[in-house]
Copies of this chain bind each other. A is one copy, B any other.
Amino acid sequence: MDTLVSIDEVGLGRRLRIGDLARVSQKSARALRLYEGMGLLGSHRTVGGHRYYSEHALTRLIWIDKLQALGFSLPQIRELLDALQAANTAPEAMNRIREIYEEKLAETRAQVETLKTLAGELEDSLRYLDGCQVCDPGHVLNACAVCDQPHAVDPPTLILGIHRHQNQSEGSGDS
C-alpha cells in the first residue's frame, strides 16, 4: 500500500530509510540529518552508510516538532536532552524536565493571552474598517488616509499606525 518498505513481516521492527521517515514525519531529509548532527535523533547505518530508523524515531520527531511549536529552539531541545544525560537518577532527570515544562507552560499561557488580545485588536480594526465601506469611492487616498469620515469609534492602534505622515517625510507638523 504504502511506499514503505516491506516491513511488517520482518518482525525486527520497522526499518525506515531517511526518505520514508521524512515522508511520515513531514520533515525533510535535510532536517533529519541536521537533527542527527545536533544530537537530537539517532540512527543506525548500513555498511554503506545509509541511515536506518526504528519506529521510535518518529516518536522522537513528533516530540521535537511539538517542542518547536512551543518555541524551543533546536539547541534548547538539545540542552533538554543533555540535562537528562547529566542526571544521575531518574527522579532527578524528571524533575529537570518538570522545571522546564512548567516554565514553558507559563510562557505558553502568556503567549496565548497575548495572541488573544491581538486577535481582539484585529477584530476591532476590522469593525472599524466597516465604517470605511461608506467612504466616497472617489475619495483620494492622500486626502483620506485611513478615512476622515466620521466613524462610530476611535481608530484602533492597528489602524492608527497606518496613518500617513510617517513614511518618508512629513509635511510640517499639523494634526
Binding site for B on A (CB under 8 A): 1-3, 13-14, 39, 41-42, 44, 54, 56-57, 59-60, 62-64, 66-67, 69-70, 81, 84-85, 87-94, 97-98, 101-102, 104-105, 108-109, 111-112, 114-116, 118-119, 121-123, 125-126, 129, 132-133, 135, 137-141, 143-147, 157-163, 165-170, 172-174
Q: How many copies does the complex hold?
A: 2
Q: Are A94 and B135 in contact (CB under 8 A)?
A: yes
Chain B residues, Cβ within 8 Å of A118: 66, 69-70, 108
Can you spell out 8 A-B residue pairs with CB atoms less than 8 angstroms apart?
A42-B170, A62-B161, A66-B118, A90-B143, A94-B147, A97-B129, A105-B126, A108-B118
Say whether A63 contacts B98, CB under 8 Å.
no
Cβ contact within 8 Å between A56 and B90: no
Q: What is the distance, in angstroms, from A165's C-beta to the closest C-beta of chain B?
A: 6
Select one of B14, B145, B160, B170 contacting A173, CB under 8 A. B14
Instruction: Describe A's contact surface by its main secondary structure.
Output: helix
**Nearest neighbor of A164 in chain B, beta-carbon distance:** B84
A98-B126, A111-B115 known; A90+B161 contact, CB < 8 A: no
**Chain B residues closer than 8 Å to A105, beta-carbon distance:** 119, 122-123, 126
Residues of B contacting A165 in the complex (Cβ-Cβ under 8 angstroms): 42, 54, 56
Query: A166 contacts which of B56, B139, B157 (Cβ < 8 Å)?
Result: B56
Contact, CB under 8 Å: A166 / B87: no
Tell me the bound Cα distance from A158 to B80 in angstroms.
Answer: 12
